[in-house]
Amino acid sequence: MKLKILVDNYTFIDQYYFGEPGLSFYMEADEKVYLFDTGYSAILLKNAALMGIDLTRLHAVILSHGHNDHSGGLRYLQKLYVQQMTKPQLLAHPQAFLPRRENGLDIGLPVPLAVLEKSFQIKMSREPLWLSSRLVYLGEIGRYNDFEGQAAIGEIQNAAGGWQPDYVKDDSALAYCTEQGLVILTGCSHAGICNIVETAKRVCGETRIAAIIGGFHLLQASKEHLQATIGYLRRQSPGAVYVCHCTDLAAKLELSKNLPVYEGGVGLSLAWDD
pLDDT in tens, 163-197: 999 999 999 999 999 999 999 999 999 999 999 99
Q: Is a pLDDT exceeding 90 seen at residue 221?
A: yes
- The most confident of the ranges 79-88, 145-154, 201-210 is 201-210
DSSP string, the chain: -EEEEEE-S-B-TT------S--EEEEEETTEEEEE---SSTHHHHHHHHHT--GGG-SEEE-S-S-HHHHTTHHHHGGGTSS-SS--EEEE-GGGGS-EEETTEE-S-SS-HHHHTTTSEEEE-SS-EESSSSEEE--SPP---SSSS-S--SEEE-TTS-EEE---TT--EEEEEETTEEEEEESS-TT-HHHHHHHHHHHHT---EEEEEEE--BSS--HHHHHHHHHHHHHH--S-EEEESSB-HHHHHHHHHHS-EEE--BT-EEE---
Domain 2-271 - what CATH class? alpha beta
Q: Is a pLDDT exceeding 80 seen at residue 15?
A: yes
Q: What are phi and psi of 176, to 5 degrees?
A: -125, 130
Query: What pLDDT score was predicted for residue 76?
Result: 97
Q: How far apart are CA 195 and CA 140, in angstroms?
A: 10
The model's confidence at residue 159, banded by pLDDT at 50, 70 and 90, is confident
Q: Is a pLDDT exceeding 80 seen at residue 154?
A: yes
Taking alpha carbons only, the member of 274, 272, 136 closest to residue 201 is 136
Q: Check: CB of residue 194 under 8 Å from CB of residue 233.
A: yes
pLDDT in tens, 222-254: 999 999 999 999 999 999 999 999 999 999 999
Q: How far apart are CA 45 and CA 73, in angstroms?
A: 8
Q: Check: CB of residue 163 under 8 Å from CB of residue 101.
A: yes
The model's confidence at residue 36, banded by pLDDT at 50, 70 and 90, is very high
Taking alpha carbons only, the member of 135, 128, 123 closest to residue 92 is 123
The residue-averaged pLDDT of 102-108 equals 95
Q: Check: CB of residue 72 under 8 Å from CB of residue 41.
A: yes
Q: Check: CB of residue 192 under 8 Å from CB of residue 160.
A: no
Rounded to 5°, the CA angle 136-138-140 comes to 160
Q: Report the mean per-residue pLDDT for the chain.
A: 96
The model's confidence at residue 83, banded by pLDDT at 50, 70 and 90, is confident
Query: What pLDDT score was predicted for residue 106?
Result: 97
Query: For the chain, what are the domain ranges?
Result: 2-271
Helix 223-236 and helix 193-204, axial crossing angle in degrees, nearest 10? 30
Q: How far apart are CA 23 and CA 15, in angstroms?
A: 17
Query: What pLDDT score was predicted for residue 144?
Result: 96
* Burial class of residue 267 (count of CB atoms within 10 Å of its CB; 0-12, 13-18, 19+): buried
Q: Check: CB of residue 267 under 8 Å from CB of residue 11.
A: yes
Instruction: Report CA torsion sign: 37, 39, 41, 42.
Output: negative
Q: Is a pLDDT exceeding 80 seen at residue 274?
A: no
Query: What pLDDT score was predicted for residue 273?
Result: 79
Query: What pLDDT score was predicted for residue 110?
Result: 95
pLDDT in tens, 52-73: 999 999 999 999 999 999 999 9
